[in-house]
Amino acid sequence: MLKKVLPFVLVFVMGCEQGGGFRDIALVRQAKREIRRIRNAIEEYKLDHSYYPSENSDLKVMLSPYLCKFIYSEGKDVAEYTSVVLSSRSNLDQLFSGLSGCARIKDPEIEAIYNKIQSAFKLYEQLLAGENVKPPSISQDISKIQELVSKIKPNERKNSLGDSLIKATSLVMSAVDKSIQGISKEEDMHLKNIRSTFEYYNSELSGKKISEKPELFDPVNELKALKEINPDSNAFQSVKDALAYYNGIKGLESYYEFLITLVKDIERSKKIFAMFETKVSGDLKAAKIVQAQAVLRRMADALRDYKRKEGTFPSQDVNIESVLHPYFVETTVSGERIDRWESSIAWLTAIPTYKTTDSSSEFVLLAQVNNETKTPVSIKLIVQNEWDNIVSAFAVPLTYTTPDSSQTYFIKTRAKDTGNSFITDRPPVVKKGA
């Protein structure tokens, strides 16, 4: 069968190669994809200007804000400072997570120390946001909490519950045995499910050899079923009381297990804080630089938006504050106007210096961080127009026509396939009522 099919496959593949075939399909698809990018850019232009480009427009220039790649370059040490801040925030989160279990302990002394630590955490968070705060050391507080929790002796208390749990399982089985007479078949089934389950628990706790693990049932569901059958029966009431006693012992066991884990978590938090505390001053410096760089990045984004609307970046001699300030003013849903310019500039020693040698394609912002060393920071934005790369997919120059620039346009070209397939596009058709 394979010998019969193979020649046809070879003929098909050779035919595709000779006629362009797969390569032609790829070239046509690429041309369609690129002309669609141009169409989308024209639509974005209309959103900003309320009309399409005129027929004699240089689309490479007119559409450059929508068909370009923006390349940001920040100071060489920014990534390192950002990593420092992120690492410290992670350490602080781990530290707080390790101590958060202290909130579950209802002890006045532990609660007071934990609240003190929480207040310190808030100050450390502010420090990692670049604020000039001096959080107190909490090393001794962490050690004190560890000491107080350890005094509860959770390991010893948990181990002492073994006999109580055996007694509790025996009480449940005894309650079932006493209730087995004069009940319905359905009640009998649920009681036997409870008994077999607790018999297994009892054997396991007593260290008895178990030949085969039985099917275990959830006592809560079995008790619920008994209640639905007859909530006033002696069987339900006696088993309910026995299970309540057992659950009380299990609750204590879970609580002591929680305390055992908490002691370990506190020890880990203590080690994390010892490391964290040694680099607080470096963290503050890094945080201030990161905040200052974030302000420059916001300014760069504002200038990018300016170019999208105006076609170019501001000229070299512009008053850069007058251009940037409006981008730092926000209006809330309720109509309240919030000006964040001054609070943003406060991270810098002064308004950044704006430089550009070609306002159509690049600029740089230079500033100093408002810290003791006045660390220099900068951001550079270079624009790469993608137009030439896009039209390289076409065999002939793109033709753009518009009978009415407020309504529609047509773009057409030819692909680079063997037959130079005709490619065209126009505004998306919106169905009436859509």
Per-residue pLDDT reduced to its tens digit, 302-323: 999 998 888 789 999 999 999 9
Residues 40 and 180 in one domain: no
Question: For residue 5, is pLDDT > 60?
Answer: no
Count the alpha carbons within 13 Å of 223 in the hemisphere toward its beta carbon: 17
Question: For 108-136, how does the pLDDT look when each residue is reduced to its tens digit (9 = 90+)?
Answer: 999 999 999 999 999 999 999 999 999 99
Does residue 103 sit within a domain?
Answer: yes
Q: Could you tell me what percent of the chain has a pLDDT over 90?
A: 74
Mean per-residue pLDDT, 327-340: 94
More confident call, 209 vs 109: 109
* pLDDT the model gives residue 404: 92
Mean per-residue pLDDT, 31-58: 93
Question: For residue 16, is pLDDT > 80?
Answer: no
Question: For residue 144, is pLDDT > 60?
Answer: yes
Does residue 431 sit within a domain?
Answer: no
* pLDDT the model gives residue 209: 82
Residues 266 and 339 in one domain: no
Q: How far apart are the first and last CA of the chain?
A: 54
Indicate the number of domains in the chain.
4
CA 362 – CA 367 distance, rounded (Å): 17
Does residue 432 sit within a domain?
Answer: no
* pLDDT the model gives residue 64: 83
Residues 181 and 221 in one domain: yes
Q: What pLDDT band is residue 298 in, cutting at 50, 70 and 90?
A: very high
Q: What pLDDT band is residue 429 in, cutting at 50, 70 and 90?
A: low
| R_g of the chain computed on alpha carbons | 37
Residues 139 and 102 in one domain: yes
Question: For residue 86, is pLDDT > 60?
Answer: yes
Mean per-residue pLDDT, 321-346: 95
Mean per-residue pLDDT, 266-285: 92
Residues 150 and 88 in one domain: yes
Mean per-residue pLDDT, 264-278: 93
Q: Sheet with 408-414: list strands edge to edge.
A: 399-404, 408-414, 422-425
Residues 310 and 378 in one domain: yes
CB 376 within 8 A of CB 81: no
CB 229 within 8 A of CB 184: yes
* pLDDT the model gives residue 88: 94
Does residue 165 sit within a domain?
Answer: no
* pLDDT the model gives residue 6: 52
Question: For residue 344, is pLDDT > 60?
Answer: yes
Residues 150 and 224 in one domain: no
CA 66 – CA 43 distance, rounded (Å): 10
Tokens standing for residue 307: 């170019």
Q: What pLDDT band is residue 3 in, cutting at 50, 70 and 90?
A: low
Residues 368 and 220 in one domain: no
Mean per-residue pLDDT, 184-188: 87
* pLDDT the model gives residue 19: 53
Residues 261 and 130 in one domain: yes
Does residue 434 sit within a domain?
Answer: no
Question: For 349-390, how does the pLDDT look when each residue is reduced to its tens digit (9 = 90+)?
Answer: 999 999 999 998 999 999 999 999 999 999 999 998 899 999
Mean per-residue pLDDT, 60-72: 88
Nearest by Cα to 168 from 252, 224, 244: 244
Q: Parallel, antiparallel, or unpaired: how do β-strands 376-385 and 68-74 relate? A: antiparallel
* pLDDT the model gives residue 20: 62
Tokens standing for residue 344: 């943003």
* pLDDT the model gives residue 432: 52
Residues 242 and 221 in one domain: yes
Does residue 38 sit within a domain?
Answer: yes
CB 88 within 8 A of CB 279: yes
Mean pLDDT of the residues in the chain:
90
CA 312 – CA 315 distance, rounded (Å): 8
CA 188 – CA 416 distance, rounded (Å): 83
CA 124 – CA 284 distance, rounded (Å): 10
Question: Where in 89-167 does DSSP place strands (E)?
Answer: none
Residues 264 and 143 in one domain: yes
Does residue 164 sit within a domain?
Answer: no
CA 229 – CA 241 distance, rounded (Å): 17
Cα-flanking dihedrals φ and ψ of residue 380, to 5°?
Answer: -120, 140
Question: Where in 260-375 does DSSP place strands (E)?
Answer: 329-331, 337-339, 353-355, 362-368
* pLDDT the model gives residue 236: 86
Q: What pLDDT band is residue 208 in, cutting at 50, 70 and 90?
A: confident
Tokens standing for residue 301: 């984004």
Quickly list DSSP for 361-387. Answer: TEEEEEEEBSSTT--EEEEEEEEEE-H
In terms of residue numbers, what domain contains 98?
Answer: 81-158+257-284
Question: For residue 293, is pLDDT > 90?
Answer: yes
CB 25 within 8 A of CB 418: no
Residues 139 and 174 in one domain: no
* pLDDT the model gives residue 300: 97
Question: For residue 180, is pLDDT > 90?
Answer: no
Q: Could you tell me what percent of the chain has a pLDDT over 70?
A: 94
Mean per-residue pLDDT, 37-52: 93
* pLDDT the model gives residue 68: 86
Does residue 430 sit within a domain?
Answer: no
More confident call, 190 vs 12: 190
Residues 6+ apart with CB under 8 A from 212: none
Burial environment of residue 334 by CB neighbours within 10 A (0 to 12, 13 to 18, 19 or more): exposed
Lowest mean pLDDT among 187-191, 300-304, 339-343: 187-191
Q: Could you say which of 225, 249, 273 is where a domain stops? A: 249
